[in-house]
A and B are shown apart, each in its own frame.
Chain A
Amino acid sequence: MSAFRVEVRVMPRGALLDPQGQAVTHALQALGFGEVGGTRVGKHLVLTVDAVSAGAAETRVRAMCDRLLANPVTEDYQVAVEPA
Chain B
Amino acid sequence: MRRVAVVVFPGSNSEIETVDACRDAGSDPYYVWHKDTGLRGADVVILPGGFSYGDYLRSGAIARFSPIMDAVAAHARAGGPVLGICNGFQILCEAGLLPGGLVRNDRLRYVSRPVRLRVEAVDTPFTNAYRRGEEITIPIAHGDGRYVADAPTLAALEAEGRVVWRYAGENPNGSTNGIAGVCNAGHNVVGIMPHPERLNAPVLGGQDGARVFFSLEARDATQPDGDLRAVGGHHSGM
Contacts and interface: CB of A to CB of B under 8 A. Distances in A.
A and B co-occur in one complex: yes
A74 B101 contact: yes
A73 B104 contact: no
A74 B57 CA distance: 13
Contacts, number: 34
Nearest to A74: B101
A20 B89 CA distance: 23
B31 interface: no
Contacts of B101: 71, 73-74
A29 B142 CA distance: 29
Contacts of A12: 103
B107 A19 contact: yes
Contact of A68 (B57, B108, B148, B149): B57
Interface string A9-21: 0001000110110
B103 A68 contact: no
Interface string B123-139: 00000000000000000
B57 A16 contact: no
Given A68-B57, A68-B65, A74 B105 contact: no
A69 interface: yes
A23 interface: yes
Interface residues of B, number: 21
Contacts of B103: 12, 16, 74
Contacts of B106: 17, 19
A17 B105 CA distance: 10
A17 B103 CA distance: 10
B148 A71 contact: no
Contact of B148 (A19, A20, A69, A73): A73
A74 B107 contact: no
A73 B61 CA distance: 12
B105 A19 contact: yes
Contact of B108 (A16, A23, A69, A73): A23
B100 interface: yes
A20 B174 CA distance: 13
Contacts of A19: 104-108, 174
B82 to A, nearest CB: 19
Interface of A: 12, 16-17, 19-20, 23, 68-69, 71, 73-74
